[in-house]
Every structure is written in structure tokens, then in C-alpha cells.
Amino acid sequence: MIRVAVTGATGRMGKTLVQAIQESSDLTLAAAFEHPSSDALGADVGELAGVGKLGINIAAMPTADSTTQLTQLEAFDVVIDFTVPEATLMLAQVCGAQGKAMVVGTTGFSQAQLSALQQHAQHMALFMAPNMSVGVNVMFKLVADAAKALGDSVDVEVMEMHHRHKVDAPSGTAVRLGEILADTLGRNLDTDAVYGRQGITGARDRKTIGFSALRGGDIVGEHTVMFAAEGERIEITHRAQSRMNFAQGALRAVRYVNAQPAGLYDMQMLLGVN
């Protein structure tokens, strides 16, 4: 059995992960963490996730100066982290020092934060993906193939929709789609990306990679890349109808990274679609 910890255990994704782990035959939930100020500290995580009492109480996230850090870390083999960049970096520092593996689905990192995570990966097996859905990662490959075939003969736009509570825009998945387009087409997101439009914008530059982000209701996640030419267009779309597909992808990542040495890993490596 692989012993798994979940951070952000009371959030939408955290509860779904707890449910998915309980339904698996080769994983066991070993610990659950939340922000130190959370009202849920001490509560049984199974009861909050709707799977019944598990005897695992929600604890504060381990920190470098926590007196209970070693006890908390000894409880699990791999931790799944869907939180915020600052919390992820703090946890990576602790896990890196103890060689504990991490699966990170957090988005919104700055370049400096990503560089710090890469440094931690020298001491731990670190799996990172802006989207844990297997379908989305297949989409990444399809978008790269389409961009390579179509080249500069089309205009490219990235559109995404998420629930009203999502705090970053564009989504990490949309940003990754933009990076794939930029890498394939020889463009630079720093200069060629356009995030929404307003007013007299002038004619569209062919090198533009456009982004549109919509927020509302309980939309789990939708991403579309549009390749628009004269007289025709191609659209590659992924629609998530449940968070469970992200959870199942994260569990696949747990099984994969648990068997790896220190290093940085992603979903393309797991799926073999580099």
C-alpha cells in the first residue's frame, strides 16, 4: 500500500481526492492537512469528505520550524498538493529535506517559484502538472501536432471557463496550452500573448496568441484551442464534467512518482506522449 497525504483536504479537490483514495485498492489515506488557521483542524477528514469516519484528523500543514514535522512526514510516502503557490513551496522545502515525494496540481506559480521547486526536485521525486486530467494531457499533444502542421497559416486563440471561485486567470492549463503553441510556432508569450481585448485594438497580428478567461457558477473546467484560417477553423476542446477525473489522474501520478528517484516529473512522462 502506498501511504498518501492530502493537503487542502477540506476544499473541493481535497474532498474528491479523499473519496478517490478510499475507493482505490492500492492506496491508503495516511494524513490530511489544512492551513494552520482553518476551522477544520482536528476534524475527521472522512466525515468532512462524506466517506464516513476514518480516524484521521486534519492537521496543520507541516512547516520547517514545526515541532511535529517529523511525525507528520513519517506518516506518508507521497503527498498530493492542490493549494496555492506559497503553501506548495513551504511544503516542498519540508518534503525535500526529508526526501518525501510530492504530486503538485497547484497553479499560478511565478518563474522564481518554479525555479525554487526545480531546486527542491534535486532532493525529492516531484511530480508537477497544471492539469492532472489524462484527457487534458492528451489534448496538449493534439494541440502541438495541430500547431506543427498548420504553422503560421492560422490565428490561434486559447479559451477557458471555470467556476466562480477560481482565483487565477488564465488557468494554469490555458497557460500551458499557450506555452505549447509558443514553443511549436516559435513565438514568445512575453511579447505575443494578448489577454482579452477592449476598445480599438487594430487588426490582429498573426503572431498573437490570444487568451480569454470566463468565470461563473460551478463550471469544473473547459479549455478550447481554436486554429482559425480563411474559410475554416479547427477547435480542440476538453470539458471536465467532474473533479473525479483530476483526482484519478493525481492517483496515477502518485503510483508513478512513488517508484521514481529524485527528479522532476510530469504527466507527459507518465503517459509517454512527449
- Domains delineated in the chain: 2-128+243-271 (3.40.50.720), 134-240 (3.30.360.10)
| Residue 207 known to be catalytic | no
Cβ neighbours of 55 (radius 10 Å): 7
- pTM beyond 0.75, yes or no: yes
171 φ, ψ (degrees, to nearest 5):
-65, 160
CA 105/CA 84 separation, integer angstroms: 9
Question: Over the Cα atoms of the chain, what is R_g?
Answer: 20
Distance between CA atoms of residues 250 and 267, nearest Å = 9
How far is 10 from 32, CA to CA, in rounded Å? 9
Strands 221-229 and 263-265: unpaired
CA pair distance 146, 150, nearest whole angstrom:
6
User: Distance between CA 46 and CA 49 in Å, rounded?
Assistant: 5
Distance CA 176, CA 190 (A): 14
Contact 102, 95 (CB under 8 A): yes
Residue 28's closest CA among 6, 49, 9?
A: 6
Catalytic residue among 35, 123, 141, 166, which?
166
Q: Reduced to 3 states, what is the DSSP secondary structure of residue 102? A: strand
pLDDT attached to residue 108: 85
Active site residue 15: no
Dihedral of the alpha carbons of 110, 114, 119, 120, in degrees to the nearest 10 = 100
Q: What is the pLDDT along the chain (274 residues), one digit of tens a residue?
A: 999 999 999 998 999 999 999 999 999 999 999 999 999 999 999 999 999 999 999 999 887 766 556 677 788 999 999 999 999 999 999 999 888 999 999 988 999 999 999 999 999 999 999 889 999 999 999 999 999 999 999 999 999 999 999 988 999 899 999 999 999 999 999 999 999 999 999 999 999 999 999 999 999 999 999 999 999 999 999 999 888 989 999 999 999 999 999 999 999 899 987 6
Distance between CA 11 and CA 13 in Å, rounded?
6
Out of 15, 100, 120, 162, the active site residue is 162
Calpha distance 103→117 (Å, rounded): 12
